[in-house]
A and B are shown apart, each in its own frame.
Chain A
Amino acid sequence: MAGKKTRKQYWERNLKYLIILLSIWFIVSFGFSILLVDYLDNIRVGGFKLGFWFAHQGSIYVFVILIFVYVYLMNRLDKEFHVEEEERGKP
């Protein structure tokens, strides 16, 4: 790691993560489950039409995964830029 990592860079990386993750959030919920739902319903997975599955189940699973990916990325970023929180002393 050459040079001092700045807070500006930290914030820019954070924004980059947000844009990627929120794009997925948008595509799955508003894209797959609402705008493209009739098209995806032509594809069947077991007893589900795919669009219906995304609207009633799939998007919720994706939401959960997105938050945990975000947690992982941000914890890593905090360490890289040395801005993670110090353990608190006495409670």
Chain B
Amino acid sequence: MDVRAWTFVLVALSFALYIAVAIFARAKSTGEFYVAGGKVPPVLNGMATAADWMSAASFISMAGLISFMGRDGGVYLMGWTGGYVLLALLLAPYLRKFGKYTVPDFIGDRYYSQTARYVAVVCAIFVSFTYVAGQMRGVGIVFSRFLDVQIEIGVMIGMGIVFFYAVLGGMKGITYTQVVQYCVLIFAYLVPAIFISLMMTDQAVPQLGLGSTVNDGTGGFLLDRLDGLSRDLGFHEYTRGSKETLNVFSITAALMVGTAGLPHVIVRFYTVPKVSAARVSAGWALVFIALLYTTAPAVAAFARMNLLSTIPNQPYATAPDWFKNWEKTGLIKFEDKNNDGLITYVGAASELENELTIDRDIMVLANPEIAKLPHWVTGLVAAGGLAAALSTAAGLLLVISTSVAHDLLKKGIRPKISEKGELITARIAAGLAVCVAGYFGIHPPGFVAQVVAFAFGLAASSFFPAIIMGIFSTRMNKYGAISGMIAGIVFTASYIIYFKFLQPGLNTPEHWWWGISPEGIGTLGMMLNFLVAYVVFRFTPPAPRHIQVLVNRIRIPRGAGEAHEISA
């Protein structure tokens, strides 16, 4: 069978599996729709959280990003895993004890204020839509590259699948499909990585292969060879950084805190039965995430090594097949500026002579071909990329539908709505959200990539401080929390909008405040939130007695089972 046939078979099989699981695990009550009835075992919740969290960006783009950034790529590796420590230690157990269904629920109840609830709802919806548009686009891209269907049709197929199991199954359906999707995506990620590691270093564990010697008989360490090759071609050394330390620090912190504040991740910890289960389930989630995240830097270095040792200064006429194949998709562009028939690939110092542009996504997508792996491996990578994109999209759509049906309607404008009515509204909202997400997937608002900084920045500067203060201070009041959230959001959003949309020409280190790029500004926004909240709190009356009692109760695990009983 050829690559297309294998891809088709594997993708179709995986889709059939997701649908079967969704039918098996469909939701019957609002409790099941929002939090899977609060009965998901911790290990499975960890797996579902990992699939929920690892998006098309983690699966397709991250290794490529690292490949081109070298050591600085650590901002993504640490930023997108370190947040789980914050989540496990500072948020998950207490939010689980609090119970209920959503992040706006916590903010609204803890700060005894509808205003606070609405601010949180708007943030949650904005963050989730930003994210989901990118996922749908990812689905379309995988379809168009591997199966030669148009991006539009690919997006539609993706919408159909997500629609089916998110609308029907709610959180319960999503959770169990995510467990299956995790297995698909991690298998698809590890197989090529292990093959390539064996081929280059004779070491089956990619994490160890990264630090091993190259097996071409010369004996040098892989990373030293890579540094040497990079230096010779005028790139910065792979194991050295090129960004300012303060900027690397801020970006890492913003990604970590943002991760801990993202509503679709937080809500997963409402689905486990107990507080102790919420703690350990965060640990499992990170184990499953780490499996991919520690493999990614190995994939990145292997791919970079392959690229630098086979392409530069070779005749274009004898370039390998994968090079020509991917040239057709426009992900590789070669322009023979000096007409010598050789591919000149050099670093920024001599940019004018460079003849090769490479889309970083190719590092994962074309990896099996570059390493001459069997056809089924390519099909597997396609299925894995789709699993990553669909699982994240479903989790986000659920947050959107819950925000509309639960936070806006039930807890906001129509408190008298029946459970049945609420469930129908949640399903309609999920359906509408799928359509909007699909629209953005087909007509991406040119700035999808830009707004990812937004999602993390906003989560870091709004939710995270508000939740932390709500748990670790019994007296923090609504005035402090609301003004803190608004200050954090306005500051962060203005900075990002200014540099990304209004004055993109000025988006360079010399114009940034203290050299902090828009990706890292959420860190300052978070500090501003804490500061403003504290100052306002000092001049206003503390939280009322019954709220202080509530906070003290959240801090003790005993009694968490009851929180969900209302819905059972």
* A41 nearest CB neighbor, chain B only: B239
Write the nearest CB–CB distance from B552 to chain A, whole angstroms.
Answer: 7
Most buried by A among B84, B213, B221, B283: B283
Q: Given A47-B212, A84-B557: A55 and B88 within 8 A (CB)? A: no
B276 to A49, Cβ gap below 8 A?
no
**CB<8 Å pairs between A and B, sample of 7:** A48-B210, A52-B71, A53-B211, A55-B71, A63-B81, A63-B85, A74-B93
Residue B558 CB within 8 A of the other chain: yes
A70 to B279, Cβ gap below 8 A?
yes
| B252-266 contacts to A (CB < 8 Å) | 252-253, 256
Most buried by B among A29, A59, A91: A29
Residues of A within 8 A of B241 (CB): 37
Alpha-carbon gap, A63 to B248, bound state (A): 19
Alpha-carbon gap, A57 to B82, bound state (A): 12
A30 to B558, Cβ gap below 8 A?
no
The interface size of chain A toward B, counting residues with CB under 8 Å, comes to: 45
Alpha-carbon gap, A35 to B246, bound state (A): 9
Where the two chains meet, the residues of A that have a C-beta atom closer than 8 Å to any C-beta of B are: 7, 10-11, 14, 18, 21-22, 25, 29-30, 33-35, 37, 41, 45-49, 51-53, 55-57, 59-61, 63-64, 66-68, 70-71, 74-75, 78, 83-86, 88, 91
Q: Given A56-B297, A59-B82, A85-B276: A35 and B290 within 8 A (CB)? A: no
B89 to A47, Cβ gap below 8 A?
no
Residues of B within 8 A of A64 (CB): 283, 286-287, 290
| B220-261 contacts to A (CB < 8 Å) | 221-224, 239, 241, 245, 248-249, 252-253, 256
- Specify which of B71, B84, B223, B252 is in contact with A30 (CB 8 Å cutoff): B252
B81 to A74, Cβ gap below 8 A?
no
- Specify which of B39, B213, B224, B290 is in contact with A63 (CB 8 Å cutoff): B290
- Specify which of B74, B78, B279 is in contact with A74 (CB 8 Å cutoff): B279
Residues of A within 8 A of B253 (CB): 30
Residues of B within 8 A of A14 (CB): 555
Residues of A within 8 A of B552 (CB): 7
A60 to B78, Cβ gap below 8 A?
yes
Alpha-carbon gap, A21 to B82, bound state (A): 12
Write the nearest CB–CB distance from A67 to chain B, whole angstroms.
Answer: 4
Residues of A within 8 A of B90 (CB): 18
Total contacts A to B, CB within 8 angstroms?
142
Residue B77 CB within 8 A of the other chain: yes
Q: Given A60-B294, A84-B558: A52 and B252 within 8 A (CB)? A: no
Write the nearest CB–CB distance from B250 to chain A, whole angstroms.
Answer: 10
A59 to B211, Cβ gap below 8 A?
no
0/1 interface trace, chain B 347-367, chain A, CB 8 Å (1 if under): 000000000000000000000
Write the nearest CB–CB distance from A51 to chain B, whole angstroms.
Answer: 8
Residue B268 CB within 8 A of the other chain: no
Residues of B within 8 A of A37 (CB): 71, 241
B290 to A85, Cβ gap below 8 A?
no
Alpha-carbon gap, A21 to B287, bound state (A): 18
Most buried by A among B90, B93, B555, B557: B557
Write the nearest CB–CB distance from B517 to chain A, whole angstroms.
Answer: 15
The interface size of chain B toward A, counting residues with CB under 8 Å, comes to: 55
- Specify which of A21, A46, A78 is in contact with B557 (CB 8 Å cutoff): A78
B84 to A85, Cβ gap below 8 A?
no
Residues of A within 8 A of B212 (CB): 46-47
Residue B493 CB within 8 A of the other chain: no
Residue B518 CB within 8 A of the other chain: no
Alpha-carbon gap, A18 to B287, bound state (A): 20
A47 to B290, Cβ gap below 8 A?
no
B213 to A47, Cβ gap below 8 A?
yes
Write the nearest CB–CB distance from B497 to chain A, whole angstroms.
Answer: 27
Write the nearest CB–CB distance from A35 to chain B, whole angstroms.
Answer: 7
Q: Given A25-B85, A52-B223: A59 and B556 within 8 A (CB)? A: no
Write the nearest CB–CB distance from A83 to chain B, whole angstroms.
Answer: 5
Residues of B within 8 A of A60 (CB): 77-78, 81, 290, 293-294
13 more A-B residue pairs beyond the given contacts A49-B239, A63-B82, A64-B287, with a C-beta to C-beta distance below 8 A: A7-B552, A7-B555, A30-B253, A56-B74, A56-B297, A57-B207, A59-B74, A59-B78, A70-B89, A78-B276, A83-B557, A83-B558, A91-B39
Residues of B within 8 A of A30 (CB): 249, 252-253
* A67 nearest CB neighbor, chain B only: B283
Q: Given A37-B241, A57-B297, A63-B85: A10 and B282 within 8 A (CB)? A: no
A25 to B82, Cβ gap below 8 A?
yes
* A78 nearest CB neighbor, chain B only: B557
Residue B73 CB within 8 A of the other chain: yes
Residue B274 CB within 8 A of the other chain: yes
* B209 nearest CB neighbor, chain A only: A47
Alpha-carbon gap, A85 to B84, bound state (A): 23
Closest 10 CB pairs of A and B: A55-B74, A47-B221, A47-B211, A67-B283, A56-B297, A88-B561, A48-B211, A52-B239, A67-B88, A83-B558
Write the nearest CB–CB distance from B153 to chain A, whole angstroms.
Answer: 38
Alpha-carbon gap, A89 to B557, bound state (A): 17
